[in-house]
Structure 1
Amino acid sequence: MLVRKTVLAHALTVAFAATVAASSAYAQSNIGNINGRAASGAVVTAQNPAIGVTRTVTAAADGTYNLSQLPPGNYLVRVKLPDGTTRDQQVTVQAGEGSTANFEADTPQTVVVTGRATRIDVKSAESSLVLNKAAIDRIPVARNVTAVALLAPGATAGDTRIGQTALRGGNVPSLGGASPAENVYYINGFNVTNALNGVAFNQVPFDAIGQQQVKTGGYGPEYGRSLGGVLSVTTKRGTNEWHGGVNMIYSPESMSGSSVYAEKSTVTGKYDLQERAGGTDDLQANVWAGGPLIKDRLFFFGLVQGADITRETYSLNRQETVKSNSPRFLTKFDWNLNDSNLVEFTAFSDKSTDKVQNYISPVPYGKQRGASQGNDEYVTGGENFIAKYTSWVTDDLTVSGMYGVGKYNRQSNIASAACPYITDRRTAPTVRLGCATATTIVDPDANDERKAFRLDAEWNLGAHGLRFGMDNEEYKVVDGTFYPGGENYQIRRLASGSTLSNGYRNTSGSPMDYVEIRHFENGGAFTTKNSAFYLEDNWQVTKNLVASIGVRSESFENLNAEDKTFIKVDNTIAPRLGLTWDVRGNAQTKVFANAGRYYIPVMSNTNVRLSGAELDYREFYAYTGSNSADKFQIPGRGAQLGGRAVSSNGEAGDPRSVVDPEIKPMYQDEFILGAQQALNNRWSVSAKLTHRKLKSVMDDMCNDEGAYNWAIANGYDEDKANILGGSIGHCFLYNPGGDLTANVDFEDGNGLTRVVIPAAALGFPKPKRTFNSLELGFERAWDGKWTVQGSYVLAYNKGNTEGYVKSDIGQDDAGISQDWDYPGLMEGAYGYLPNDRRHSLKVFGSYQVLPELRLGANLILQSGRPKNCLGYYAGDLDGVSILYGAASFYCGGKLNPRGSFGRTDWTRNLGLQATYEPKWLKGTTFQVDVLNVFNERTVTSIEEGGESALNTPSPTYGQPVGITAARSVRFLAQYEF
């Protein structure tokens, strides 16, 4: 029937909630729900004919109803009133969200809403950005999960060295002031985060994504193991109609901005970016199909991606050609056993083999090719298998179970494994010598495997919606690292009067050249176990007020290479509280608040570095000024300068004596207060305040001096004091800033003795990290004609620890960075942190100019990152920090607190898109995307090591190590049926 204009306007008002979610009303982010109000006893049916799903419930005495665990899609919601009349609404359910369909007395008899109305989520206090594939396709953005996540308000790109592989820079985001290693990633509800150090994750082919959700705060107790955000992907699936397609995506090197290198000016002493040859030629193709194997019952979707990618790099004295053509795939089956039971199975692979050809470059940055240095291979990614079963037991009770196995390879085959890595660091840029092609070599058999299962249930009790569940993960890691050829050689210059990290002082009266040789090796097979259970009550306190009251309990266990437990923490308690107030009861004005505690597990990297056998030492020799004549070019060594500096002696400690038995996992508290207002014509605006505070840090500490001095002062004899100091000096995992409890074998026949060393004796400050932000947002929802969305965030990220990684030096040893090893390394550490971006402005949208032509744009502006000068420790808190080299906030003998050297420049990135969909060939799409239109090459991070010895300035200080990507042009040709 026709609906009068006034009635349709009311329908749109009702539909404000019809496409938005009570995100906290269901357990996993790959499903949604529909809830609302109707007459008491009314029968409510939601039907999605495309996927054969029909669900029916009866409204409670107060008129409320809830249809939970619904696959994403378009639903017809029909209510049959006690008098026999019916009313309908069209509702869109998105993964990770819910929808509201109200059928109260003044609701029109039939309401059909097409397109998407203004979004106001009046049920959830969660902060999230949700984009389906159609919306993503309208935005000029790089084709990966991280690029989409960076559209979220306040999200910043992590340091390119964090998560870096031998061939690719790191590509993980920082969300809400957390380090890039503190996010969690899901595909169809299965955790695909690489738990070695949290800075990698499995990915499906980009064209297999159905929807991506980025949760940046306030998420419910079904989520944990994250202090940053939750990035969740829901894949495409089959429907009752067969659909398929094929596309080709090509980014030619010839149309991209030039590659650049940094050259230090002899006039200004600053680094300038110069053009050089090289770049990436990227051709990808996808073929997909999906439809019913049995109508209404069994559905299939499959996609295969092929690639032909070549990257050429021309450096100072090396050349590299990388080729990658590994296929990737996704398959998904959905089986409606009946109207009450659904089985899903997902399988995908992102395993990729990169083949590298290495050559000497006879001309700096030139294309002339010299002698071959061999071919290398690197393998990343792996296969994942996910099975899920969902049962709607009754109208009010839904139960689901999931089991998955995920693999991630980190294998390598390095032809030059016997060649030591040799660099000349006396000038800038650094010169590579010898025949090594890799800085470090990972165990050729390195791989990770996760086995996980979870159970979730929802029980609707009228005004109370109970959710409860549990999950369990077992993660096995094979890992190890060593230097090619066994040693790393660095030729450096020591100024007169300067001191090496081992205490050797140059008293010759003139500069001298020396060789620093480092030996490092570790490895083994390790297991990590994480488990959790949660409970939440979504309580409709009044018609307009919803309270989500929940709690999550997590347990963590880490085992060493002998499968002996060395860390075990049971039943951490993480309360969550969310409040949402629909101010006028019409889904147009929402005020919300959230408070919660969030824990993160101990990464498997800690197993490898702390509980395994690790040998790490440095030696220093005078440089003779000559290198060996063969291809190894070993630097000539003269007299040894001082003694060997040992960091780890190669022995694995007793698992009971390397961890504080009273240790608490790393966690933070979060508080959010916000408001959202719907405006006319699909517009909405929002404002939000966020406060995050890190409450506990977990890291390794090696302060043998502090432990020894405390023991002597408290009556221990010299032998026992030395044993205590040595036990701590092996490096000990504890909560920095607090008392240390250690189990120590004093070799007195009494076994392990518990010793408590007070915090004051260890000399560490309390760990601090805060994130405070004001977020202003706006959105004009897509109506088939145009859309725009954007945000401005004013943020302050301050403290003395970044968290699980240390972007200052590009260290991604999650949980065991050099921070907190000795007090001197933390002196001056308080200030604005690496992920602090004071201002962030993001605007993206699209406009249907003509029926066949659509234009899109994406603009991201962000202020720069704080800069430091790191040098050799010259304070008096300890005598060991100097051994770490350029690692403290002393530089040139002066303490320069964190952030004292200004900031990097603002980054400005504009992307444009044009899409042509000709009517003369239905189903065909031609698209051109230009990313970084003005080819702005901004330095995003620098080499912050300011000294090569105490009071000897480093020639590479300030050298760019991160630069924004060059302009790229991407062409897409696609046909769908």
Structure 2
Amino acid sequence: MASTRNIGRLKRTTLAAALGLCFIGGVHAQTNTAGAVAGRAQAGDTITVSNPATGFTRTITVGGDGSFRFSQIPIGQYTVTRNGSSPKQVTVNVGTSASVDYAAPAAAGGPQELEGVEVVGTGAINPIDVTSVESTTILTAEQIAKIPVPRDTTSVALLAPGTVRGDAVFGNLASFGGASVAENAYFINGFNITNSFRNLNFAQVPFEAIQEQQIKTGGYGAEFGRSLGGVINQITKRGTNEFHFGGNVFWSPEDLREDVRNAYQTNGIVRSDNSQDTVNDWRTNIWASGALIKDRLFAYGLISYGKTENNTWGNNVATTNVNDDIELPTWLLKLDWNITDSHILEFTAFSDKQENEQGVYANRPGVTERLNLVGTNFQDQGGENYVLKYTGYLTDTFTLSALAGHGEFSREQRLVTASGLPVSYNGDINSTATGCPQIVDARPGYRQALTGVYGSTCNITNGTIDRTDSGDTRDQFRLDAEWQLGDHLLRFGYDQDDYESKAGVATEGGFTWRYTTVDPDGVANSGDEFDRARQQFFQQGATVKVKQHAYYIQDSWNITDNFIAYLGGRWDTFENQNGNGDTYVKISNQFGPRLGFSWDVFGDSTFKVFGNAGRYALPLTPSVAVRGASASLFSRESFEFDQTVDPVTGAPNNPIARPGTFIFLNSEDGQPKNPLTIASQDLDPMYQDEYILGFQKMLTDHLSLGIRGIYRELKQAIDDNCDYTAILEQSDAEGLTPLLPNPGFPYCRMFNPGKDAVFVTDVEGDGVLRTYVIAGARLSPPAKRNYSAMEFFVDGNWDKFFLQGSYTYAKSIGNTEGGVKSDIGQNDTSVTQDFDYIELTVDTYGYLPNDRRHSLKLFGNYEITDQWSVGANLIIQSGRPVNCLGVLDRDPTRAPGAPPNDATYDPHPYGSSFMRCNNSPVPRGTAGRLPWTQNLDLNVAYAPSWAEGLQFKVDVFNVFDSQKVTSVVETAEVPETGLPSEVYLVPASFQAPRTVRFMVQYDF
């Protein structure tokens, strides 16, 4: 960070008065919890900054160069005085620097006094921050309340340029700059709240407690890491000397909610009938804040309770109906202690525990009905978090902060059958899950017609269940220092983040029974047919860890009066451990350089040109180790039975194992895996390079315009490869006799796609480890993902009206989405099927799922009178590309475009996973695009003058009830036959239907 002698030479009163939301904000020299006040005055002047609401006061003496800076001060409204003169008012937002100048830059004749400039903190537009090279959006609680937007972290983040909504299968998550939804980082008051198990969740602080949300979409400094997408940084509300008490209620009634569209198969049959679905939602918040000791100790507390009743009636191919009952009691406590004017202590505690009770009912396929209760599925999520932070202003130029935090996140699951019997899995792979087995009837239709369809009337999930004690814990410590040295503002620190996950899944009931038919003479229904049953066990469970630490240093250097150079570096170390505590991947001191500049063209903060370049790295998630690096069990065995099944469980009666049919799959025999064999010995982290160039210009005192170009290139990915034949080829050449499976020979291994891999393997099962170097081209092509975009953004503020907006033209192209795979809804972060076999990589280069070519966003608010206001939020986006995923028929006689031959059809075991249909290539993204989506939200608010603090508001979301398709089924062929699938292009999700939300609030 540069010397502040040239920061913010504001010469226009109205420009200096505007403060609030900015699209190019965030000062690199700031922490992720505070801001700064900086400017110029005469050498030797005494400058005092104070917050009357909290009693916080600091005084410093202006240095010989005429600059002053108050760093790392809590966000809020401040007064600034020089030598006891009349105060000026400023607003400090997170990560920004409020500028107050009493003198112009030194000229030949010496420093010049500026005319009095009254700096106030009202409005919705920041002065251009000429000290920043970041791409940042900041929204305050007041601004969020004025616009119609769902009150959750992701919905607010989607207002920023360069963000698009991720695939619905992953939940309510955003994609930043072409990255997958699993590559973001989330913070509360400086504490990392990302659920790092799969990077697909984060702690949900009661949103009413959020004072500011900062959305970093690119160019962030060396203090931030472990993200290739974006950073969402939230600051909570805090207490002041003035006592406040209040509450509100939000209610979204079912009667004013439109039905979700029905989905149809290609043959016209209804796939999903949503006409009887219902949703009722309400939430209430109660808060209080004030001073426990005036000017010294403050408290803010909030408790929130909500309930959502989600009644889903199933569809024409499902066998169950579901009734959801979700209860969400959450709370937050924030304590702030101004020990002295130079030492501050903050404590944050919050809980986001959620309880989900899901009743599962039977129904006949093809009928929208509700029969008997099968069972109840209880799922817990969230937990408690505690954060302690110290800030010390040790000298006028040196500030030190330290943070320590502990967080817990539950992922528990337990089931109860209709008869009251508990169903669970304890995570021990040597003990099976309780309950009724899963049943798959794969017999031909004529056998099903003869004996009836085999199924279970007591299996609740028809899949796997999580271990009952699933959950995560995080322990974080970081130390940050800021030191002003003349023209250099140095920032350096250390960050340690240890994450532990208890995880595991098992098939409900312990195993799956799969029925097939044996037909000796090959003539259907000739009387010689009989059925067989195959029993499959699958379970895993382990306590795994990822240990991370990083060092960083950065310098903002005022090279000239109006040119700042930013130089920084970050060194990350990632260490992943399996269920035995053994390290299977460790990457030390991965270097991430950061470079940037900011040019205050006219020297008055009205026109800025800026640019930056940086490298960002991402560690492996702990989820990889649960199955891939720890003990797991996956087995199959074939059985004869008496051709009848249990009418309740669907299990075969009197099963007799067929000799020699028991096998372990993928070397998953319940034995611990050798950590040296799990990953390539030369593994690099997943990392990305980013380049940004842009400018921002004040067009008038009320309106600014900015343009920036962004280019991101994925330089390296981590994924798994399961084609172990490359090792067998070399071992055969050595004359070895492979023994498969064995614990030292995993079928799938972590590697960098396209890079030569160094695998250590026990080939013969004798404990002897041998090293094999496999050429990258033998396994897969390099991972590619390039994102390029032009962003245009405006920020306007007038007396009673503010408007923000952006237009983004973007392209996201490559052969991998990143951590997850939206094409098929695969949420196995870092171990998708993208690079499992080289055949899966053919024709995969093209436009990726998060490619939304055009995005237009406009939102704002107009105050009609002192009591009435209206707000609007408009988002228009082009649709994502569509693929045609089919089978790879290895029949050499089949011509492209010809139908499969029943006698010679030989599909690849990965089924409908290839970029081809009807035996012909269909490269990624060339099967069409989904339609454009338009979403307009409106609100009206009434704050009666006769009752101060009382407010009523109505939000209408999706006013025109536009329900365009946002994702479809992209698997186009049936794996067993190779014939076209009737569910290809069936909608998997739509835009949310029109809903109405009422609010009443009173704040005393």
Q: TM-score, normalised by structure 2?
A: 0.88
Distance 2:934 2:827 in 1: 27
State whether structure 2 residue 141 is matched by structure 1 residue 133: yes
* Alignment partner, residue 242 of structure 2: 241
Aligned match of 2:988 in 943, 958, 961? 961
Structure 2 counterparts to residues 331-350 of structure 1, below 5 A: 331-350=333-352
Q: Which moved more, 1:821-830 or 1:316-325?
A: 316-325
Structure 2 counterparts to residues 705-784 of structure 1, below 5 A: 705-712=725-732, 715-719=733-737, 730-745=747-762, 751-760=768-777, 762-781=778-797, 783=798
Structure 2 counterparts to residues 861-940 of structure 1, below 5 A: 861-874=876-889, 882-940=908-966
Per-residue CA deviation, residues 51-93 of structure 1 (Å, 9 max, x unaligned), is: 111122222222122110110001111223xxxx846431110
Change (3 A) 1:519 1:817: farther
Letter in 1 for 2:243: W
Identity rate, percent = 38
Equivalent residue of 1:606, what SS?
A: helix
* Alignment partner, residue 679 of structure 1: 699
Q: Which moved more, 1:61-70 or 1:943-952?
A: 943-952
* Alignment partner, residue 499 of structure 1: none
Structure 2 counterparts to residues 137-148 of structure 1, below 5 A: 137-148=145-156
Per-residue CA deviation, residues 790-817 of structure 1 (Å, 9 max, x unaligned), is: 1111111011111111111111111111
Letter in 1 for 2:870: L
What is the CA distance between 1:514 and its match in structure 2?
10
What is the CA distance between 1:118 and its match in structure 2?
4.8
* Alignment partner, residue 34 of structure 1: 37
Contact 1:280 1:312 in 2 (8 A): yes
* Alignment partner, residue 453 of structure 1: 477
State whether structure 2 residue 712 is matched by structure 1 residue 692: yes
Q: Which moved more, 1:966-975 or 1:506-515?
A: 506-515
Distance 2:510 2:392 in 1: 56
Distance 2:992 2:550 in 1: 40
Distance 2:489 2:145 in 1: 36
Equivalent residue of 2:571, what SS?
A: strand
What is the CA distance between 1:701 and its match in structure 2?
1.2
What are the ranges of 5 or more consecutive residues in structure 2 without an aligned counterpart?
Answer: 1-8, 104-111, 418-422, 424-434, 446-452, 893-904
Contact 1:566 1:659 in 2 (8 A): yes
Letter in 2 for 1:115: T
Equivalent residue of 1:874, what SS?
A: coil
State whether structure 2 residue 801 is matched by structure 1 residue 798: no
State whether structure 2 residue 843 is matched by structure 1 residue 840: no
* Alignment partner, residue 206 of structure 1: 207
Distance 1:378 1:249 in 2: 24
Per-residue CA deviation, residues 585-622 of structure 1 (Å, 9 max, x unaligned), is: 11111111010000011100112121112334678999
* Alignment partner, residue 90 of structure 1: 89
Distance 1:645 1:656 in 2: 21
Distance 1:753 1:87 in 2: 78
Per-residue CA deviation, residues 821-845 of structure 1 (Å, 9 max, x unaligned), is: 1111111211111111111111111
Distance 1:264 1:764 in 2: 35
Distance 1:215 1:431 in 2: 53
State whether structure 2 residue 137 is matched by structure 1 residue 113: no
Equivalent residue of 2:12, what SS?
A: helix
State whether structure 2 residue 828 is matched by structure 1 residue 813: yes
RMSD: 3.3
Equivalent residue of 1:146, what SS?
A: helix
Distance 1:644 1:75 in 2: 71
Distance 1:887 1:622 in 2: 33
* Alignment partner, residue 899 of structure 2: none
Change (3 A) 1:620 1:934: farther
Structure 2 counterparts to residues 471-870 of structure 1, below 5 A: 471-488=495-512, 519-616=537-634, 628=645, 630-633=647-650, 646-650=665-669, 651-712=671-732, 715-719=733-737, 730-745=747-762, 751-760=768-777, 762-781=778-797, 783=798, 785-870=800-885
Per-residue CA deviation, residues 176-218 of structure 1 (Å, 9 max, x unaligned), is: 1000000000000000001101000001111011111110000
Distance 2:60 2:944 in 1: 44
Contact 1:627 1:633 in 2 (8 A): no
Contact 1:11 1:108 in 2 (8 A): no
What is the CA distance between 1:280 and its match in structure 2?
1.5
Per-residue CA deviation, residues 308-336 of structure 1 (Å, 9 max, x unaligned), is: 32111111343322222342100000000
State whether structure 2 residue 388 is matched by structure 1 residue 351: no
Distance 1:223 1:558 in 2: 20
What is the CA distance between 1:31 and its match in structure 2?
0.7
Letter in 2 for 1:835: N
Change (3 A) 1:662 1:109: same
Letter in 1 for 2:244: H
Distance 1:682 1:385 in 2: 42
What is the CA distance between 1:631 and its match in structure 2?
2.8
Distance 1:970 1:64 in 2: 50
Per-residue CA deviation, residues 845-898 of structure 1 (Å, 9 max, x unaligned), is: 111112111101111111111111222223699x99922222222333222221
Contact 1:493 1:948 in 2 (8 A): no
Distance 1:505 1:229 in 2: 60
* Alignment partner, residue 284 of structure 2: 285
Q: Which moved more, 1:243-252 or 1:271-280?
A: 271-280
Equivalent residue of 2:553, what SS?
A: strand
What is the CA distance between 1:757 and its match in structure 2?
2.0
Change (3 A) 1:926 1:735: same
Distance 1:126 1:294 in 2: 38
Distance 1:55 1:146 in 2: 36
Letter in 1 for 2:302: L
* Alignment partner, residue 254 of structure 2: 253
Per-residue CA deviation, residues 646-674 of structure 1 (Å, 9 max, x unaligned), is: 34523432001111121111000000001
Change (3 A) 1:265 1:668: closer
Distance 1:823 1:391 in 2: 55
Change (3 A) 1:875 1:142: farther
Contact 2:723 2:747 in 1 (8 A): no
Change (3 A) 1:577 1:881: farther
Change (3 A) 1:300 1:630: same
* Alignment partner, residue 430 of structure 2: none
Q: Which moved more, 1:412-421 or 1:152-161?
A: 412-421
What is the CA distance between 1:623 and its match in structure 2?
14
Distance 1:526 1:309 in 2: 34
Distance 2:291 2:674 in 1: 58
Letter in 1 for 2:911: G
* Alignment partner, residue 975 of structure 1: 1002
* Alignment partner, residue 902 of structure 2: none
Distance 1:869 1:505 in 2: 37
What is the CA distance between 1:436 and its match in structure 2?
2.4
Distance 1:262 1:365 in 2: 14
Change (3 A) 1:349 1:106: same
Contact 1:243 1:289 in 2 (8 A): yes
- The number of equivalent residue pairs is 939
Contact 1:25 1:465 in 2 (8 A): no
Equivalent residue of 1:608, what SS?
A: helix
Contact 1:457 1:469 in 2 (8 A): yes
* Alignment partner, residue 166 of structure 1: none
What is the CA distance between 1:159 and its match in structure 2?
1.1
Change (3 A) 1:730 1:133: same
Change (3 A) 1:648 1:972: farther
* Alignment partner, residue 167 of structure 2: 159
Contact 1:258 1:278 in 2 (8 A): yes
What is the CA distance between 1:161 and its match in structure 2?
1.5
Distance 2:920 2:380 in 1: 45
Change (3 A) 1:510 1:935: farther
What is the CA distance between 1:910 and its match in structure 2?
1.0
